């Protein structure tokens, strides 16, 4: 969602969750439940399994880290969160959950992280609703393909244009929601891009109804609260919902799975 939105605006104050993603709304209207469900979709796409060592790109305040360990049985998580304040919050929460012996949180950006020694032990790389902010996504994927060991699994939730013809139209929308124009790939470009980066067995699941429609409904229900908290990112959340609503049939939500060749 571009600039970070205060998790309390999304999850509600006083709760235990601090998710910051668009959510998977197929079976719920509660934000925290939808956000966790989207992470599960990414974990399933990456074929996470018990004992995996995982790189979590854009971990936010750490909810995804807990989910990989508690629900998928991950043995360890190296997480990247470029926002230092959010990364500090994630470290505090991970320690509170007594998971810090299995978790390392790095404040480097995804595009600057390519340490072969750190990536070599990883069985999977996951990113829940963050990959389209990486400058650039294609460069990052090629870097992953160059340094990850064969068989490393990839799971992403991402956004794509339904047609390359809409790229110019969406450049303005992208700028207002913090998405680099270079990351406006189309659905048809996903498989070739990942294949060129060294991945195979690429799966692309379209999920606009499960993701976009639900987040738009959530933003409309909470429009007054979001609009009256601009300093906490409320306007950013509303701008994202407005972009998704106005995009109509031109924007796709995708859950992507792949494996390093």
Query: 3-state SS of the chain?
Result: CCCCCCHHHHHCCCCCCCCCCCCCCCCCCCHHHHHHHHHHHHHHHCCCCCCCEEEEECCCCCHHHHHHHHHHCCCEEEEECCCHHHHHHHHHHHHHCCCHHHEEEECCCHHHCCCHHHHCCCCEEEEECCHHHCCCHHHHHHHHHHHCCCCCEEEEEEEEECCHHHHHHHHHHHHHCCCCHHHCCEHHHHHHHHHHCCEEEEEEEECHHHHHHHHHHHHHHCHHHHHCCHHHCHHHHHHHHHHHHHHHHHEEEEEEEEEEC
2, part of any domain = no
User: What are the pLDDT tens digits along the chain (261 aa)?
Assistant: 445 788 888 998 878 999 999 999 999 999 999 999 999 999 999 999 999 999 999 999 999 999 999 999 999 999 999 999 999 999 999 999 999 999 999 998 888 776 767 788 899 999 999 999 999 999 999 999 999 999 999 999 999 999 988 888 887 777 766 788 899 999 999 999 999 999 999 999 999 999 999 999 999 999 998 888 878 788 788 888 888 888 878 899 999 999 999
Give the CATH number, domain containing residue 190.
3.40.50.150
257, part of any domain = no
173, part of any domain = yes
Task: Indicate the number of domains in the chain.
Answer: 1
144, part of any domain = yes
60, part of any domain = yes
Q: Let me know how long the chain is.
A: 261
Report, in angstroms and rounded to the nearest whole number, the Rg of the chain calculated over CA atoms.
17
Residues 6+ away with beta carbon under 8 Å from 59: 65, 77, 79, 80, 81, 90, 105
Two structure tokens written together for 212? 């976009």
Per-residue pLDDT, 177: 67
- pTM of the predicted model, to two decimals? 0.94
Contact 126, 56 (CB under 8 A): yes
Question: Which domain covers residue 21, as residue numbers?
Answer: 7-252
56, part of any domain = yes
Contact 208, 162 (CB under 8 A): no
Per-residue pLDDT, 3: 58
CA-based angle 77:60:124, to the nearest 5?
Answer: 30
Q: How far is residue 147's CA from residue 158's CA, in Å, rounded to a whole number?
A: 22
261, part of any domain = no
Q: How far is residue 150's CA from residue 24's CA, in Å, rounded to a whole number?
A: 30
42, part of any domain = yes
Q: How far is residue 191's CA from residue 93's CA, in Å, rounded to a whole number?
A: 36
């Amino acid at each position: 969602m571009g600039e970070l939105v205060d998790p309390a605006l999304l999850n509600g104050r006083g709760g235990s969750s601090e998710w910051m993603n668009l959510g998977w709304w197929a079976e719920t209207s509660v934000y925290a439940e939808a956000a966790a469900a989207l992470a599960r979709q990414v974990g399933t796409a990456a074929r996470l399994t018990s004992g995996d060592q995982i790189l979590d790109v854009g971990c936010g305040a750490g909810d995804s880290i807990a989910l990989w360990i508690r629900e998928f049985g991950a043995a360890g998580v190296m997480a990247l969160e470029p926002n230092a304040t959010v990364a500090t919050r994630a470290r505090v929460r991970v320690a509170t959950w007594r998971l810090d012996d299995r978790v390392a949180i790095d404040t480097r950006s995804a595009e600057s992280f390519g340490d072969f020694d750190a990536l070599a032990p990883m069985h999977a790389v996951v990113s829940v609703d963050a990959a389209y902010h990486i400058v650039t996504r294609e460069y990052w994927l090629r870097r992953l393909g160059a340094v990850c060991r064969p068989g490393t699994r990839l799971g992403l939730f991402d956004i794509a244009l339904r047609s390359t013809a809409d790229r110019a139209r969406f450049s303005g929308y992208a700028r207002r929601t913090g998405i680099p124009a270079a990351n406006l790939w189309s659905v048809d470009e996903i498989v070739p891009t990942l294949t060129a980066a060294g991945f195979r067995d690429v799966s692309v699941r379209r999920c606009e109804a499960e993701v976009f429609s639900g987040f738009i409904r959530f933003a409309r229900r909470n429009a007054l609260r979001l609009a009256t908290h601009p300093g906490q990112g409320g306007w950013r959340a509303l701008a994202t919902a407005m972009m998704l609503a106005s995009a109509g049939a031109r924007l796709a939500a995708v859950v992507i799975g792949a494996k390093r060749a």
